[in-house]
Structure 1
Amino acid sequence: MKFLAISGSARRASTNTAMLYALQSVAGSAHTVSVYDRVGELPVFSPDLELPEPPLEVARLARAIADADGLILASPEYIRSIPGGLKNAIDWLVSRQEVIGKPIVLAHASHRGDDMLRQLRVVLATLSGRFNEELFLRLHLMKLSPEEVGAHLSEPRHQDEMRRFLDDFASFCKAA
């Protein structure tokens, strides 16, 4: 199964991005996880820029989504809300065909952020009829550096949890 993991953080030392790279490293031969960590490079959404062709970075993201069997989104919360960069990326996708019916799940690298997650769940359920709210990976990694995240997630119990998450998502993607 081929997954695209989108980080909602524009921060280079993002805990959520580091978590997605850890998911990529445990995927094994059963799954492929590509990480998109460039939401900060997308231009501010404007319907005027969509046609005839969207900006290059938007087109790259759309192609990556089209090539994926499913999307994994991971995001920090800013002021109890969806970060602007991720919301901007989603705005670019709303009127595109690539995301319609695409299976989507969430992962989160903190013990908090529930207000943002509630908002993001509403947005994703609107974006795709295949958003799975039940399948959710939450790892308590807040305040760790990307290197510390990698070391923490190399523990066997976390590796098993991440593999189960990917396997469960693959099963969901194959169903219906």
Structure 2
Amino acid sequence: MSSLTLFALCGSLRQQSINKACLLALQQLCSGYIDIVIDEDIGLLPLFNPDNEQHENKALARMKQQLAAADGLIIASPEYAHGISGVLKNALDWLVSGPEFVDKPVMLINTSARAHHAQAALREVVTTMSGAIIDEACVTVALLSKNPTADDILQMTSVTDTLLLGLAAFSRAIRTDQEITAEHAN
């Protein structure tokens, strides 16, 4: 059985982003059996303008290529003013018209139990874009007031257990979908 490759988007540009730290911790937790590629270009995307979709943008091209090559997508994003961060919404707007997102399994990570408005909005956007949210893989971990680094998160057993349970459910769902697809192809 081949290793899974997952693409991860962080909806925060902050240098000390809790969401980025959570993705980095998850990347380390599953190193060796799941490859998580964390996007580094989200802040380089221009503001979405459909008139510019045909113009070459290297950051967008890399993002689309990495998403297309991935078996699934992980999104971790903060909540700003009861909504999705502008940088994440901008990235999703750029991805909405391409085939890379359609039917892509999606895992959502919420780093604050209070951030339920953004998670609801994110679910709406991802569903509208034809992403396949895997409900049992979506997790909430209480990190908001702690401001941890990835190394700090790796020492938080309750957080790492929750992340790994979500990732296990995500992996199972992706593998099951791949098996069903392979059976129908034969």
Question: 1:45 maps to which residue?
Answer: 48
Unaligned runs of 5+ in 2: 178-186
- Separation (CA, whole Å) in 1 of partners of 2:173 and 2:113: 25
TM-score when scaled to structure 2?
A: 0.86
More divergent stretch after superposition (88-97 vs 121-130)? 121-130
Deviation per residue, 1:16-62 (Å, 9 max, x gap)? 110000000001322111111432221101112111x4411111110
Identity over aligned residues, as a percent? 35
Instruction: Kindly report which structure 2 residues correspond to 1:37-76, keeping only aligned pairs within 5 A, or say none.
Output: 37-51=40-54, 53-76=55-78
Q: 1:143 to 1:158 in 2, by over 3 A?
A: closer
Instruction: Kindly report which structure 2 residues correspond to 1:68-107, keeping only aligned pairs within 5 A, or say none.
Output: 68-107=70-109
Preserved contact between residue 19 and residue 150 of structure 1 (Cα < 8 Å) = no
TM-score when scaled to structure 1?
A: 0.91
Preserved contact between residue 108 and residue 138 of structure 2 (Cα < 8 Å) = yes
More divergent stretch after superposition (54-63 vs 71-80)? 54-63
Q: 1:129 to 1:35 in 2, by over 3 A?
A: closer
Question: 1:14 maps to which residue?
Answer: 17
The residue type paired with residue 91 of structure 2 is A
Question: 1:36 maps to which residue?
Answer: 39
Q: 1:23 to 1:42 in 2, by over 3 A?
A: same
Q: 1:9 to 1:81 in 2, by over 3 A?
A: same
Unaligned runs of 5+ in 1: none
Question: 2:182 maps to which residue?
Answer: none
* CA displacement at 1:129 relative to structure 2: 4.5
Instruction: Work out which of the residue numbers 141, 144, 168 in structure 2 matches 1:139.
Output: 141
Moved beyond 4 Å, runs of 4+: none
- SS of residue in 1 equivalent to 2:22: helix
* CA displacement at 1:146 relative to structure 2: 4.0
Number of matched pairs? 174
